[in-house]
Chains A and B, each alone.
Chain A
Amino acid sequence: MATKIKRTLLYIALTLLAICCMIPFALMIINATRTGSEIANSFSLVPGKALADNWATLSSYFDLFKGMRNSLIVAIPATLLTAYFSAMTAYAMTVYKFKGNKLLFGVIVVFMMIPGQLSLIGFYDLVTNLRLVNSYLPLILPSIAVPGTVFFLRQYCETVLPMPLLEAARMDGASELHIFHKIVLPILSPGIATMSIGAFIGNWNSYLIPLILLNSPDKFTLPVMIASLNSSTDIMRNQGAIYLAVAISVIPILIAFAFCSKYIIGSITAGGVKE
């Protein structure tokens, strides 16, 4: 009886928490169906009737799917690069013993603490001198070196990578790259997937750097496009459209998350060595 009451209470508490987490999302979706003045005038959980109007407003300003495409062109390669190269760096730093390893790690930790906005102007100057303004390359290539991900994966390597397995592979004559691709990557995949979610969301939502670096509206990524709705003269009417745009732009993140979280859970149970 006592456990039953306890469990009921627990479930009530968890349900409440779940509702708290869902309400902002629900509000976003509901507001996407209401007019700007309705949103300003009252707070409601009942969907409105302005979805079509909002869509018309939205598509009168820009092509949302073009923005989505642009964002994907940036976010997918950037995420893949982050995942692959960070794993490689982390693996090397854990397994190989070389001079300056500790120092390198220290440098990585220090760089982790510098906020990106700080180096914005220097980065812009660099990009201008390389004549890469208004191109996606400066948005994608820097993701090869992400200190935060390397830091996380290095710690992860230390805990999950069984040295005997690597030694066995080496004895069987596998090349170093082969070992990394065939043995290390699969073992690290849960960690990589976790970091990839973060990297994908970060790239997808990135606003300031694309805003500064991209000049032609055709190349704008989604967040930059959506922000331009704010600058119209008729801000009130656009509120609903902004909500709609944001609601739609969340979909790829949901897909990425659904896919990656399944992967994490699946891989945590499947280790490389049976102990």
Chain B
Amino acid sequence: MRARKISAMLMAGAMVLSLTACGGGTDKTTEAAKTEEPAATEVKTEATTEAKTKEAAEEETDAEGNKIAVAGNQDAEQKLVIWTLSNDLKQFAGHYCENHPDVQIETVVIAPADYPTKVQAAMRGRQAEPDIIVGEPQMLETMYEAGYFEDLNQEPYNAQDYADQEVDYAWQIGQDADGIQRAITYQITPAGVFYRRDIAEKVFGTSDPEEIGKLFADYDTIKTTGQTLKDAGYKIFASEGEMNYWAGDSAWVVDGKLNVDQDRKDYMDLCVYLYQNDMTAYVDAWSTTWYNAMAGEIPVIDADTSVWDDAAMAEAEKSGNTTEVFAYGLPTWGTLVMRDNVKDLSGQWGVCSGPSYGFGGGTYIGISALSENKDLAWDFLKSTTLDADTLNWWVDVSEGDVVSFLPVLEQHKDDENQVYGGEKLYDFFLKQAEGIDTSRITKYDEPLKKAWGEAITAIKTGTMDEESAISNFYDVVESTYPELTVER
């Protein structure tokens, strides 16, 4: 009896659930309809009304494209399976299917942290699915070594023929240690210094990107710039780690040996200096206040105030002291992050070059070595990364992603971005990309950078002196990567 009772109640529970499911289903349409209203009522000026409605319309179409896991005709003869870690490829897949009615594409989006595990398992099981796999720069070397990617230099692909149409650094990241093309990207991600034009005008008398770039030319100049801004009542950065895209001019690992050169130590000095001399807002990148500072004034807080603590923040605000942040260091996709957060300061920002050349992130697409649809996969890959029409479409849809295909970059060279005072960002980022040296990328970069960052935090907050923090860093490296030689 009891067992029957249990199952009866479980069934009842399931029924209740499916009922709520249906209820939710009907709500969906009404709620979707509602979403447009706030977008229309919030707007103030005519110009923004236009922008907003345009954005809303585009969002709608995007949304439709995103939802469908399988793009294209369900009965289509040819089927391509993509495993990716960002939603971009879903949109590309939808676009591809529009032009190729005989193809359906299934796009599986997997959280970046678990992506390598998922691909590794499938490759171990020698599965013919997926046809297309992707990687971020820090994952690629491991994936090349494991032989997951098809050699794109061989017949019938002949990827090397396209080499001069792509931005050099992005092309090189797609090559394995032997220089064989394994993956191709559609975007470049060089970093730039995003700065406040109005503050620059007030403090330095100019807001010209060339001139401001000189203020960030090297670490010592940044220290002086920070001092000038501090004297004028501003903070140079929100977090002291803003220059991390330009940290270090050499590889972390050279010939199996850990390489900590003077430049790394200088970067460490810079972070500690900025922090200890009260030139930052004492917040972490990507935290609440860090975002707020993009839109203007933030309360002055000292090193001990937790920005996550409401009461402490309220107290800091009550003191009436506010400050403004001058600059951020972000890669190309930072333009979109800023755009969504600058609010009234839209148009007051500018972008200039940093102390050297750096980049962050990027999605590289390749064909799985085990795929059975390699020809179709190559056609998709080619149309996504090496086709002017697709990439022009992408520039529009993504609202400003910087593509890696040179002909399209040339076309958009004179596009002005109004959020950044009409600066020609495509031209700027292309110039930045030309300076990037890919020879210093290793598979150890991300974890080593993180460990080095922890050492910097320990020093700047005074929990460790420089010597023991660095020696602690060496210990961490030695125990994590026994294959590396560490010379202290």
Q: Which residues of A contact B64 (CB under 8 A)?
A: 60
CB distance from B34 to the nearest CB of A (A): 5
Q: Are B35 and A61 in contact (CB under 8 A)?
A: no
Task: A62-B69, A212-B117 given; name 13 further pairs at CB < 8 Å.
Answer: A40-B286, A40-B287, A43-B288, A52-B35, A76-B10, A80-B7, A133-B127, A185-B3, A208-B117, A231-B111, A234-B336, A252-B17, A259-B9
Interface string of B11-44 (1 = CB under 8 A from A): 0011011101100110110011011001000000
A60's contact among B13, B66, B333, B341, by CB below 8 Å, is which? Answer: B66
Q: Which residues of B contact A120 (CB under 8 A)?
A: 121
Q: Are A255 and B13 in contact (CB under 8 A)?
A: yes
Measuring CB to CB, which residues of chain A are less than 8 angstroms from any residue of chain B? 37, 40-43, 49, 51-53, 55-57, 59-65, 68-69, 72, 76, 80, 120-121, 124-125, 128, 133, 181, 185-186, 189, 208, 211-212, 215-218, 227-228, 230-234, 236-237, 248, 251-252, 255-256, 259, 263
Q: Are A56 and B35 in contact (CB under 8 A)?
A: yes
Within 8 A of A (CB), among B297-355: 308, 310, 333, 336-337, 340-341
Q: Are B2 and A186 in contact (CB under 8 A)?
A: yes
CB distance from B35 to the nearest CB of A (A): 5
Q: Are B28 and A59 in contact (CB under 8 A)?
A: yes
In the complex with contacts A37-B341, A259-B9, A181-B31 CB distance below 8 A: no
Which secondary structure dominates chain A's binding surface? helix
Interface pick from B82-90, B369-377, B416-424, B468-476: B82-90
Q: Are B2 and A189 in contact (CB under 8 A)?
A: yes
Range of interface residues on B (Cβ < 8 Å): 35 or more
In the complex with contacts A65-B21, A72-B14, A233-B63 CB distance below 8 A: no
CB distance from B68 to the nearest CB of A (A): 9
B114's contact among A42, A121, A211, A217, by CB below 8 Å, is which? Answer: A211
CB distance from A127 to the nearest CB of B (A): 8
B106 within 8 Å of A (CB atoms): yes
A28 to B353, CA, bound (A): 41
Within 8 A of A (CB), among B377-394: none
Q: Are B110 and A211 in contact (CB under 8 A)?
A: yes
In the complex with contacts A59-B28, A62-B67, A231-B110, A255-B17 CB distance below 8 A: yes
Measuring CB to CB, which residues of chain B are less than 8 angstroms from any residue of chain A? 1-3, 6-7, 9-10, 13-14, 16-18, 20-21, 24-25, 27-28, 31-32, 34-35, 38, 62-64, 66-67, 69-70, 81, 84-88, 106-115, 117-118, 121-122, 124-127, 129-130, 286-288, 291-292, 308, 310, 333, 336-337, 340-341
26 residue pairs of the A-B complex, CB under 8 angstroms, read A37-B340, A40-B291, A41-B288, A42-B310, A59-B67, A60-B64, A60-B66, A62-B67, A64-B24, A65-B24, A69-B18, A69-B21, A125-B125, A128-B126, A185-B3, A189-B6, A212-B121, A215-B127, A216-B69, A216-B108, A217-B106, A231-B84, A231-B111, A233-B86, A233-B333, A263-B6
Q: Which residues of B contact A64 (CB under 8 A)?
A: 24
In the complex with contacts A233-B333, A236-B340, A49-B66 CB distance below 8 A: no
Q: Are A52 and B308 in contact (CB under 8 A)?
A: no
Which secondary structure dominates chain B's binding surface? helix
Q: Are A53 and B35 in contact (CB under 8 A)?
A: yes
A43 to B308, CA, bound (A): 8
Q: Which residues of B contact A42 (CB under 8 A)?
A: 288, 310
CB distance from A215 to the nearest CB of B (A): 6
B121's contact among A40, A61, A121, A228, by CB below 8 Å, is which? Answer: A121
A186 to B3, CA, bound (A): 8
In the complex with contacts A43-B310, A55-B28, A218-B69, A259-B13 CB distance below 8 A: yes
